[in-house]
Amino acid sequence: MTEASNQEPNPQQPNKLDLVIPDGVKEIIELQNSLQNLDDLTLDSTILKIKNIFKDSKYFQPLAQTINSYAFNRFKQLDIISQLAYRLAVEIPNFSSYILQASHGLLLRRLFERSLFSNEQIQAKCEKDEYDYIYFVPELTIPKYILHAASLVNFEKLMKQFSLNDFQKYKEWLQYGFDRDTVQTYIELNDQNAFQNYINSSDFDIQQMYTDTPFCPFTGYKENFFPERPKFSLLAIAAFFGNYSCFKQLLKINQTITETVCKCAVRGGNIEILELCKQHGGTFEGCLDIAVHCYQNHVFDWLISNAEAYTDKLPSLEVIAKSGNLLTAILFLTSGGNIKDGEDLPRPPIHRAAERGHDLMLRLLIENGANPTIKNKFGDLIIHTAAQLGRTDTVKYLIDKGCSVTESNPKGWTPLHNAARNDNTEIIKMLVDRGADVNALTSTGHSVFHIAVLNNNFRVARLLLDLHADPNTKSNDGKERSPLTVAISKSQEKLALRMIELGADVNIKTLDGRATSPLAVAVSKGLTKLAMKIVEKGGEVNTRADLVSPLALATQQGNQELVQFLKDHGAYDVPTTNPDHSIVVPPSEQVVLQQPYDVKAKDFFGRTLLLKACETGQLDVVKQLVKEFSNINEKDCNGTTPLMTAIQSKHEDVAIYLMSRGADVNLKNKQDKTALHFAAEQDMIKIVTELKKRDAYMNPASSLIGTPLSIAKSSEMKKLITRYGGV
């Protein structure tokens, strides 16, 4: 690249005319101009300038967003911008939290490598955004691009290249998603000697000069190109990386300037390459949007000055709003752009700005005529989005601009519902103070309280209680969940106790795949204090969860204190059925023998403690119960004996022990299946031999499944049963 190609002229300062410029916009534009030419020589002065300009923390969020946008879109400046971000985070109090929130992709990784963020902070961020997660893949320890890198990159080839070359030199290969060959790497790394030698060698394939994949403004690729990989001509690649020297050499071989080459040149940001493209007949349709999105403001200025090269005289306001590029927004407005442009889109520009958290862009558009009450295709107002993102100042600004705090979208969500998804109590208070209904319901019957608890925002939930939210609302989505049972299911004991003290119904019944109650859920979660409080407040002790009573649940958990408490309050193991009255036998829990217990007692399914222990394979418990239980063949509701259960669960040692203690080997269940049927099904060779020793009948027939031989799976099992007389 020549010396001239590195010089990026600052775009012309826009003529403000009657434009209203909100506070902070001028400062961000000044920052953009500083970042255009940021290098090692200007780093210290730029940091000092930023520290002098951005003293008020209310500008930290747009400051951090702008730094991230430049790091993401101007790859050649990534190292210097990451240095800038790191030093600002260290030197400006409280700024690190803003840069953590705003940083994504490679910038986030670079700051993590500098130990600015902890492992826990990175993990929490990646859990919210999988796009960030792919930059921390441990197998490669290199960044991957969002475009499903596994579909783009031949990893076997990639690792081979890494083994043949210096790893550090090539570690950013995946940034652009190319399945590169060697010459593309020479262009990116500006290795002029290697590139020239390749062009002059027999390895050079002239076809590499002519294949271009349609270009997408935001990724570099056509968005629907899968499963084919993108292929750019070498000329387009040189333009993409702003490599003027390579571009000039390639232009001597192929002088065809395609639309993709021009768009790559805009993305690359090299004015000299743009001039060459123009001289050789290149056109720049749609390139204004690319320049806006990629923060190539000097290119934007060049395009405006060379308007004869394209017909779209102004960029899309939607792209401007989505990018957050304030300088181009002002240029758009002062150049005759219509502030109403894009209002008929599914997501109007003002919504795009709100979705991306570009608060200053949002204010700039509204102050200059954009409608703050326009809805997107989902029927949401801008205030819905701002509330969900936790933008306190923006929510206040929108309310002052006339946005309704009570209007709901087609699904019944109000701004307060959206705010409950974000753990921002200040917005909740503000909306309620301005008239929002704390008990408003969505079309599925979910209250604001529901939304807070479902999203684990318990600080907001506690505030809503203080604001008189109804804790007994039940959803009408088929699950009939109440805030109380949701809070208990998330083990939020303090919140649930607070709800109960404020009058939550302790016997409210919900239907979340099965009948449940607050007490049953509390017992299943091991919340002893809460369970006792529910009972003390009048909770019914003989209710069900998972088809097992609270007493049975407490017994299974070995919670003797709670077991005794429930018994003292009249609890007993009441059987129940599914809503369709069918008998469904859930898996048994581990049996815990703690006195007192009744060896003859059965649950709803007719299962004794012995049968449950046989199912779970607890041989020591089985031995203890057999000593105390006179009937070793006691059946459950389906006619299944402990021996059948042990064999069905493949607990060989338990089955052999039961047979040694006299278990009947020829009993049948309600399907006429014997122990031999279960052994044949489970392919338990040793058990079949043991059954034969104890005179098990080899041809018991079941009307449903036939004989043991007919259901045997392995050839070895079939031979064994046949040898013993089975047919």
Residue 471 three-state SS: coil
**Which residues in the chain show pLDDT less than 70?**
1-17, 75, 129-186, 188-190, 202-231, 309-312, 511-515, 543-548, 573-587, 594-595, 604, 630
Dihedral in degrees, nearest 10, Cα atoms 682, 684, 690, 692: 70
Q: Which residues pair with 510 in a beta bridge?
A: 516
CA 544 to chain centre: 34
Taking only the tens place, the pLDDT of each residue in 201-240 is 766 666 555 555 554 443 443 333 223 344 677 888 888 8
CA contacts within 13 A on the Cβ side of 572: 6
Nearest-angstrom CA–CA distance, 527 and 396: 40
Q: Is residue 483 within 8 Å of 473, Cβ to Cβ?
A: yes
Distance between CA atoms of residues 151 and 144, nearest Å: 11
For position 452, what pLDDT does the model report?
93
Distance (Å, rounded) from C-alpha 380 to C-alpha 407? 9
ω into residue 642 within 30 of 0, thus cis?
Answer: no
320-355 burial code (b ≥16 CB/10 A, e <16):
bbbbbbbbbbbbbbeeebebebbbeeebbbbbbbbb
* Nearest-angstrom CA–CA distance, 195 and 174: 20
DSSP-assigned letters across all residues of 367-391: HTT--TT---TTS--HHHHHHHHT-
Q: Are 622 and 614 in contact (CB under 8 A)?
A: yes
User: Taking the model in full, what pTM does it have?
Assistant: 0.65
Q: Which backbone phi and psi does 445 adopt, to 5 degrees? A: 80, 15
C-alpha span between 337 and 324 (Å, rounded): 16
pLDDT of residue 517: 85
User: Which structure tokens are listed for 45?
Assistant: 């002065």
611 SS3 class: helix
CA geometry: angle 636, 638, 639, nearest 5 deg: 65
Angle at 322 between CA 320 and CA 327, to 5 degrees: 35
Q: What is the pLDDT of residue 310?
A: 66
The identity of residue 473, as a single letter, is T
Amino acid at 204: F
Domains of the chain and any CATH numbers: 4-149 (no CATH), 387-470 (1.25.40.20), 476-579 (1.25.40.20), 609-723 (1.25.40.20)
Identify the pLDDT of residue 549: 76
- Which string of DSSP letters, residue by residue, matches 476-535? -SSS---HHHHHHHTT-HHHHHHHHHTT--TT--EESSSEE-HHHHHHHTT-HHHHHHHH
Beta bridge partners of 706: 702
pLDDT of residue 185: 65
**Percentages (nearest 5) of helix, strand, coil residues in the chain:** 55, 0, 45
Q: According to DSSP H, which parts of 25-177 are helical?
A: 25-36, 43-53, 60-73, 78-91, 95-102, 105-113, 119-128, 130-133, 149-152, 155-164, 167-170
Q: Are 437 and 405 in contact (CB under 8 A)?
A: no
What are residue 511's DSSP bridge partners? Answer: 515
DSSP 549-615: -HHHHHHHTT-HHHHHHHHHTT--------TT-----PPPPPP---SS--TT---TT---HHHHHHH
**Cβ proximity of 550 and 567 under 8 Å:** no
pLDDT attached to residue 141: 40
Is the Cβ–Cβ distance between 53 and 88 less than 8 Å? no
Tell me the two tokens of residue 236. Answer: 């387009």
Cα(251)–Cα(238) distance, integer angstroms: 10
Residue 435: the pLDDT is: 96
Give bridge partners of residue 548 from the DSSP assignment. 545
| pLDDT number for residue 237 | 83
Distance of alpha carbon 277 from the chain centroid = 42
Sign, Cα dihedral of 388, 390, 391, 395: positive
Task: List the beta bridge partners of residue 515.
Answer: 511
| CB 679 within 8 Å of CB 707 | no
Distance of alpha carbon 512 from alpha carbon 510, whole angstroms? 6
